[in-house]
Amino acid sequence: MSWLSEFGGILMMQGFNGLSVFCVLLLMALGLAIIFGQMGVINMAHGEFLTIGAYSTYLLSSLTTAYAPALQPYYFFGAIVLAFLVAYALGYLVERFMISHLYKRPLDTLLATWGLSLVMQQSFRSIFGAKEVSATLPDWLMGSFQPAEGIDIPLNGLFMMALTIILTGTIFVLLYRSRWGLQVRATMQNRMMSGAVGINTRKVDRTTFALGCGVAGVAGAAFTTIGSTGPTSGSLYIVDTFLTVVFGGAQSLIGTIVSAFSIAQTQSTLEFFLTGSMAKVLTLSTVILILLMRPQGLFATKLRK
């Protein structure tokens, strides 16, 4: 039975590896669920906001190492806040000067944000160079926790899980237990009536879009704990992120969580037995087949008609 215990250990290790991917994918998908699910905007530049968060973390890491090495164990908490603020501010400006003119024109938003993503990628190359860079992680994020013999759980993965849980809970409270969330949902369901009762719909649009971008920035900070950052790092996640949101149900946060977990775990487990590209093909093919049978996603929002 030793082979059975070894096989179980392998599956558990792959499961924990999948949790790291799940955390980044979920944070990306949460931001996109707010923008696409709540606003109906197809933001093809969403992955670049992850890259902004990752580069912000890298810059703060470099500055801390060079000028304040004593703060090295603590800088990562500030990096998370910085990544959110930088991505939020840029998202606010993008909505103000571009997206606000393209509402109810999904094809135009797709083309405009795709062009924006190319501009942002080239800007990253010009500023940071084409080579990938890595942030210096604090010592407490290095190493692993060993709950049993043969099973090592990375500490950075545990931190990412805690960060994801906190941020997911915060977004849920904001959208479903706050006055601002009520205004967001009211605006998206009936913009004209919301404006008639005194809701500043333009302000709601900007803060909602900026919040989604800010969450992607936090995903970028988390991404630096598992990989290096390059100009196209964010674009590698954009297809999986859109598929996660659609598969879970475009307006369902619960569906987004379940979808991200299913896709990340399936892909991680298959990668042990197959090549990475084949694992992705099988995972995406399975999701597409399920969507053909259930096009509204796993958790469709019920609307009164």
Angstrom CA distances, 71 to 85, 137, 139, 194, stand at 20, 12, 12, 47
In total, how many domains does the chain have? 1
Confirm whether 167 is domain-assigned: yes
Q: What is the pTM of this model?
A: 0.87
Q: What is the SS3 assignment for 212?
A: helix
Confirm whether 266 is domain-assigned: no
Residues 191, 201: contact at Cβ < 8 Å? yes
Residue 86: count other Cβ atoms within 10 Å of its Cβ.
21
Confirm whether 41 is domain-assigned: yes
pLDDT at 147: 65
Confirm whether 5 is domain-assigned: no
User: How sure is the predictor about 280, in pLDDT bands with cuts at 50, 70 and 90?
Assistant: confident
pLDDT at 305: 42
Distance CA 244, CA 261 (A): 9
Confirm whether 47 is domain-assigned: yes
Confirm whether 188 is domain-assigned: yes
pLDDT, tens digit (0-9, with 9 covering 90-100), for 18-59: 677 788 888 888 888 888 766 778 889 999 999 999 999 999
Q: Which residues contact 147 (CB under 8 A, 6 or more apart)?
A: 153
pLDDT, tens digit (0-9, with 9 covering 90-100), for 174-219: 888 899 888 888 887 787 888 888 888 888 889 999 999 999 999 9
**Greater model confidence, 122 or 247:** 122
* Domain of 97, in residue numbers: 23-235
Confirm whether 34 is domain-assigned: yes
**In the Cβ-directed half-sphere of 235, how many Cα atoms lie within 13 Å?**
15
Q: What is the SS3 assignment for 98?
A: coil
